Structure 1
């Protein structure tokens, strides 16, 4: 098996300052606090070489951490975990190499080594908010692995940050989107709900199987067709709704098999980017997610029924409940489905074109989870899911 060789970890600070101690703090919003300091990892796989990807991306990262750009990313959480201290202490960075060509079959075996991890299961206040690794393969392809503390940014915010680094790496004088980290426009989630969601996230496991599979286009088309035949006057079934309903159906069947009970309550959670609905400023890269729980029973809906429940939840209908009520369903019986297809990761590029693949990776998770990833380059035969 190929081995990833890593250089020593360095700390990348903003290009215009070494350390800005005492440069102020940014209070975490209730959206940030409700998620907790959970590490999240994205792997961007590039099959076209660029000149010296490690040094090129490290330089662009430093430029992106300038005071006028994404300086808070170089900070640390305050000791109580309630704010970001803009200390300028920097982002951890590692350059790495692999003595084999970039081939898809290698990636599932190597993904633990393609990104940096945190010392513990959760990020501590003294840990860097962001860690980055650039791994170059013998063919010239490379992987950018980024692990970050979820209280710093959601997926859309991290995708915006990576697009900015790519723009600087390609020679733009500044990011095309002006970044905003503190938003006065976001409403406050009630403290009781924040506390309940944090308590729910304290239950985490490493003891689940990791899967990487494709749902064929034919299966998606069949689900959309069944919905159209039975609901001629309703809005069409979307790809997200078809994929999510199928994943939920499969998970529900697994629960029935495991517990031999066809009347168990089962839940499905999907987070949504609600920046537009809440009027967040353009360029806001903190957390702005609304996650709702949709409930059914193991013996109830077929695929069309699940699509209907998902549609109602998306539209704000009466089938949705706050995420923290998932405890009433049960951790094992609740599936989290997160779509990364429209967050912007696939638009991050550092000089050689868009990524051939965007991969999710997590060493532990709060719930059984499926992440619907952006399309793989050259593969239009379905939707890639990592779980």
Structure 2
């Protein structure tokens, strides 16, 4: 039986006219915002508990949320050549919204990778262009009564934690709360959000300005038993993220099998800066507040070393790079490594959707059964990455979606993971 997803025409959801629309103001981009090229970010939230008319319920809640998150309804303004981002104009034009229905149950989604991609909206180009909506949403109802919420947004407007805060607000309003429990803040003017050096901003942004390549998709579960074993070997000096990142770093490096053991095989991971700064940016701020941290190592070291030693490298990078970058930013004379070169194939990016609050989004009947990037069997991407997803119902471990190897290395990568019990 063929599966069909029927979509309505896209509409612009704006804040309710009777509540007024805050327009005319601008949101100056922070140096953290400018670290990110205007690339689209995609998320899929899967809800297996039905609610009444999910399309209209979410649509109305989004409209109410835009009263509090009015920059989300604005548009990005760039310079004459579209390369220099200037600010967000609060135009009140709204977010793009589509209601849809699928002729299958949620259980069939995992067996149809091409369907997953059809559950989110996409921008026309690889990059989000000035004048396009900052947020796209699609709500899809399934034959079993469950539904999905596909979210696509311009990375310049918010990071993962910021989008989780917005979606939690949508959930609260959908459940009848008069206002979000967290007062949102998008523009920080009290100096609590420091300015990064221009050379750091340029280097970070250049890492996202690389050619698009087709990569293989692999979704696996890292069992808790393996994660616990790594933590024991590290004598407790290891988080779940550290363990999973080290394991994937090693397996991928072995799979792509560079002939020269001295070839650089760096790992990058985004780190939240919210815990290092105070003021409004610590509570309610939903703009970008993360930095991509490098872990430098040679391929021979990564491929043949002990996993516990790779964990030590990751933890050292956390301690050294993050505080150092803010120290030099604030004129304290602290040092940080020279920003690394732009991403290449031997580079791996590991990121996490865990602990952001995405699994706390409640639209009326509880949290989502799954939160995941909506990827199909092959994607074109500007970086090689693995994503640790929030807890997935029925999975005894950490669910990871990877898009980090070319198709010709997919089998070797899967075999390296399987040898550790990751499948």
Shared fold per TM-score greater than 0.5 = yes
Once the two structures are TM-superposed, the CA of residue 197 in structure 1 deviates from its matched residue by: 2.1
Instruction: Tell which deviates more after alignment, 89-98 or 79-88.
Output: 79-88
Counterpart contact for 1:375–1:384, Cα < 8 Å: yes
* 1:120 aligns with one of 120, 125, 144: 125
Once the two structures are TM-superposed, the CA of residue 263 in structure 1 deviates from its matched residue by: 2.2
Task: Give the structure 2 partner of residue 314 of structure 1.
Answer: 318
Residue pairs, 1:81-230, within 5 angstroms: 81-103=85-107, 104-106=109-111, 108-184=113-189, 185-228=192-235
Once the two structures are TM-superposed, the CA of residue 365 in structure 1 deviates from its matched residue by: 3.0
**How has the CA–CA distance of structure 1 residues 206 and 4 changed in structure 2, closer, same or farther, with 3 Å as cutoff?**
farther
Q: Give the SS at the match of 1:132.
A: strand
**How has the CA–CA distance of structure 1 residues 21 and 38 changed in structure 2, closer, same or farther, with 3 Å as cutoff?**
same
Q: Give the SS at the match of 2:316.
A: helix
Distance in 2 of aligned mates of 1:214 and 1:367: 22
Output the aligned Cα RMSD. Answer: 2.0
The Cα offsets for residues 22-76 of structure 1, whole Å up to 9 and x where unpaired, read as 521010101001111010011000000000000000000000011xx10110000
State TM-score, norm by structure 1: 0.92
Distance in 2 of aligned mates of 1:18 and 1:237: 49
Task: Give the structure 2 partner of residue 231 of structure 1.
Answer: none
Distance in 2 of aligned mates of 1:284 and 1:142: 29
Name the count of aligned residue pairs: 374
State TM-score, norm by structure 2: 0.84
* 1:384 aligns with one of 385, 395, 399: 399
Q: Give the SS at the match of 2:58.
A: helix
Task: Give the structure 2 partner of residue 244 of structure 1.
Answer: 245
| Structure 1: gaps (5+ residues) | 229-234
Once the two structures are TM-superposed, the CA of residue 102 in structure 1 deviates from its matched residue by: 0.8
Counterpart contact for 2:12–2:96, Cα < 8 Å: yes
The Cα offsets for residues 350-379 of structure 1, whole Å up to 9 and x where unpaired, read as 001100000013654332100100010232
Distance in 2 of aligned mates of 1:107 and 1:164: 31
Task: Give the structure 2 partner of residue 343 of structure 1.
Answer: 356
| Structure 2: gaps (5+ residues) | 80-84, 326-335, 403-423
Once the two structures are TM-superposed, the CA of residue 304 in structure 1 deviates from its matched residue by: 1.2
Distance in 2 of aligned mates of 1:132 and 1:206: 26
Q: Give the SS at the match of 1:296.
A: coil
Task: Give the structure 2 partner of residue 267 of structure 1.
Answer: 266
Task: Give the structure 1 partner of residue 418 of structure 2.
Answer: none
Once the two structures are TM-superposed, the CA of residue 218 in structure 1 deviates from its matched residue by: 2.0
Question: Is 1:365 aligned to residue 381 of structure 2?
Answer: yes
Once the two structures are TM-superposed, the CA of residue 122 in structure 1 deviates from its matched residue by: 0.2
Once the two structures are TM-superposed, the CA of residue 107 in structure 1 deviates from its matched residue by: 5.7
Question: Is 1:72 aligned to residue 38 of structure 2?
Answer: no
Q: Give the SS at the match of 1:243.
A: helix
